[in-house]
Amino acid sequence: MRIALIGDVHANLQALEAVLLHASDQGVKTIWNAGDFVGYGAFPDEVVSLLRRVKALSISGNYDQKVLKVKNKQSAWAAAKVPEKWLAFQWAYEHLSTRSRKYLKELPKNRRLKAKGWKILLTHGSPASPDEHLDPDTPEARLCELAALAKADLIVFGHSHQPFARWIGNVLFINTGSVGRPDDGDPRASYAILRLKRTMVEVIHYRVEYDVDQAAGAIRAKQLPEQFAQMLLQGRSLDRIDRADAGDHYNQYLTLNS
């Protein structure tokens, strides 16, 4: 059994299409998605629609959940959040169809699965919280606590945008990496293929080339902040990009849309 493990697409349609094509070329027909369909990228509704069309088994990520709260949190978040982050929430919400919002709202935050005798937890951040970042440097003691909490053989997640696979005792932690917005300095899309047999488990992470310039150009064409384009080009989060490359595009956005 071969399963594509994806997550953190963040509305990057070009990266998602490249990953799905790559997975298909590997003979994969089953897709598990660890959430965060939307945010920062230019194609929130198109990403939701495509993942529905390929019948990906999905959960909602912390970003998906926040975007769905925009109407109720508008006043508080506009005043309290970093302007670019508030803009990303608001723009994603406004560019999702009613159908896509309904679909995201109905998704669970976790899924418990069983395949080839393996018990699997599909979650976004960690078994404890969708907001917890697990990366290659997470202490073993913390992973032991989470393994006991999860009560699963395999834990599949994303959120930190940094791919890794790590055994803790008899529990395998698998971070899919980020399809649409890597945060390890490598702009290529990241995902993993999981191979399962009753007595064997294998995880291979892949980095997939795609047209990053086209994805960044789509962000610019939508008149979104240059910071969002630089996140893709640099393979870094909003907090870690080189701001010198972003210029004053955000101020231009505010002027154009005020």
What percent of the chain is modeled with pLDDT above 90?
88
Which pLDDT does position 207 carry in this prediction? 98
Q: pTM score, two decimals?
A: 0.93
The answer to whether residue 169 sits within a structural domain is no
The answer to whether residue 20 sits within a structural domain is yes
Per-residue pLDDT tens over the stretch 236-249: 999 999 876 665 45
Confidence of residue 80 (pLDDT cuts 50, 70, 90): confident
Per-residue pLDDT tens over the stretch 123-148: 999 999 999 999 999 999 999 999 99
What percent of the chain is modeled with pLDDT above 70?
94
Confidence of residue 71 (pLDDT cuts 50, 70, 90): confident
Which of 142, 138, 117, 112 is CA-nearest to residue 128?
142
The answer to whether residue 138 sits within a structural domain is no
- Residue 156 backbone dihedrals phi, psi, to 5 degrees: -110, 130
The chain-wide mean pLDDT, for the chain, equals: 93
Confidence of residue 183 (pLDDT cuts 50, 70, 90): very high
Count of the separate structural domains present in the chain:
1
Q: What is the mean pLDDT of the segment spanning 10-22?
A: 98
Which pLDDT does position 253 carry in this prediction? 43
Q: Are 177 and 192 in contact (CB under 8 A)?
A: yes
Which pLDDT does position 246 carry in this prediction? 62
Confidence of residue 256 (pLDDT cuts 50, 70, 90): very low
The answer to whether residue 243 sits within a structural domain is yes
Q: What is the mean pLDDT of the segment spanning 218-243?
A: 95
Confidence of residue 258 (pLDDT cuts 50, 70, 90): very low
* Rounded-to-integer distance, Cα 169 and Cα 242, Å: 39
Which pLDDT does position 56 carry in this prediction? 98
Q: What is the mean pLDDT of the segment spanning 16-30?
A: 97
What letter would DSSP give residue 233? H
Which pLDDT does position 238 carry in this prediction? 93
For 73-107, letters b (16+ CB in 10 Å) and e give: beeebeeebeebbbbbbbbbbebbeeebbebbeeb
Confidence of residue 250 (pLDDT cuts 50, 70, 90): very low
Residue 221 belongs to a domain with what CATH number? 3.60.21.10
- Residue 110 backbone dihedrals phi, psi, to 5 degrees: -145, 155
Domain span at residue 7? 2-119+184-257
The answer to whether residue 127 sits within a structural domain is no
The answer to whether residue 166 sits within a structural domain is no
With a cut of 50, say whether residue 232 has pLDDT above it. Answer: yes
Residue 32's CB is within 10 A of a number of other CB atoms, namely: 22
